[in-house]
Structure 1
Amino acid sequence: MLRTVTIERLSRVGQWLPRDVYFWAKALILAAIAIQLARLAWAIATPLGPVGDWRPAQARAMAPAAQAALIAGFDPFGRGASPDDAVTSVTDLDIALFGVRENISAGTGSAIIAGPDGIQKSIGVGEEILPGVRLSAVAFDYIVIERGGRKEKLFLDQSTPAEVVVDAAAGPNAASDVPAASSGGISAAEARAGIALAPRSEGGRVTGLALSPQGDGKIFAAAGFRPGDIVTAINGRRITSPADLAALSGQIIPGARLSITVERGAETVPVALNLSGNP
């Protein structure tokens, strides 16, 4: 019924139009229908998108050099670069760091710090440690303090050797050869006698001081060193010449507090060498 009505209306319209115009109008409509049918047939035969022969992007493997650089810059313990990495000087204040609590998401944290009186306190970022000395930032194994507009680092003391567990079956005298830890540290004379230093050269220039034990090695271990350690910096100053060997020897004096950066295999370890006041 609808088709009959539509044809009748078209016939009436055709009566009002000149014969040639009506003919060409029907031709255009038929041509448009033919074009659409051809496009439909082409889409069915070759199902391509509007941009042609599109294919998904293939995964590309990184070059070995790029992979090595990426792995070298990744730290699974979250010790990434921080805004205070440019701070190279180590503080000479009579304070000691015993623990840190870093809040990476909030950019805050706190630290357990002992002052000259030896009393440990929990200090938050922004709080005052000593008069004129403020805790600026907390990192994985060190803190940044600010005094007089200058920033300095204070590392965790890792020079104390780990407690030795003695097997009960070995007898009560099994631990007799283990040196007892002293609250005052080793003396300057013991450090000179038990620790040997030698420059390490790479490419014709000095890049560190090689450490080796002397004697029975007890003093060497008590200082927090291991055979094969390389000193690369002392109190934030890098080792670059043989003169630094004499400079380090001159700093081994009673009561000295040295912050030593040690290259241990593929790691960099801070060691705090605190000498007792005894000669």
Structure 2
Amino acid sequence: MGNSFSDRFGMMTRWYNQQGPYPVLFTILAALLLVQATRLIWLVLTPLGPVGDYRANDVEILSPQSRLTLFSSFDPFFRTGAAQSANVVTSLQLTLFGIRMNEASGLGSAILSGPDGVQTNYGVGEEIMSGVTLDSVEFDHVIISRGGVLESLYLDQSIPAQTVGTEDPVAPASLSLESNEIPGVASLAPRNDQGRVTGIVLSPLGDGSLFKSAGFRNGDIIVSINGNPVGSASDIESLKSQVRPGARLSVEVERGADTVPVAVNLGAQ
């Protein structure tokens, strides 16, 4: 009996040795096939629809007026909203000297002065004085909010245009028309870009003290005078004609990579 069992075990061992790893692989494949078959049966028997008393919500269709209101409130450029118009000109003692618009964001800033004549740059939303804020910036004016009431303030147009005639105009005592300079302050030179004047280059004169006290720095280039961009060599004469004792000017200068507003106060002398 023992010999018979040993013989059978030996025969099975020799048979497995002859077959190699194939029986093991066959067993693994059979197990995987059984698993996949079980999953397939589960998928077939599992219901695809909702379980229980399920009812889909009805589609809500907005009325044309509601859709118009919805899309009117959407701003793809993320601005604060369209500027509101103000038909009332403000009675406050404010003077507007310069405007910077940002059409991409709908914001901007403005250079304003109060009764004291001190010019300050304000951004949209900033408070100008108690109860008064800058609401929006337009092409030639700004809109301020005065206790919730919108009022307009236009650019200062009090500086007269340069007179052209047969007689030579009388130059201010502080100017020298023989050379492009403001005596003791700065020399003026046009900056050309492809044959077009795009700015006025400033260089300090003397020890540079008056140049610095006027708010300038070495290398500044004036690109705007009282809100008007520099576009020709005649703007140098226009700048010189506006410089007089006690004059206050609002200019924008390129200072490196930035554009900076400068309030120029030449004083009484």
Q: Same fold (TM over 0.5)?
A: no
What TM-score comes out, normalization by structure 2 length? 0.43
Decide which structure has the larger Cα Rg and report it. 2
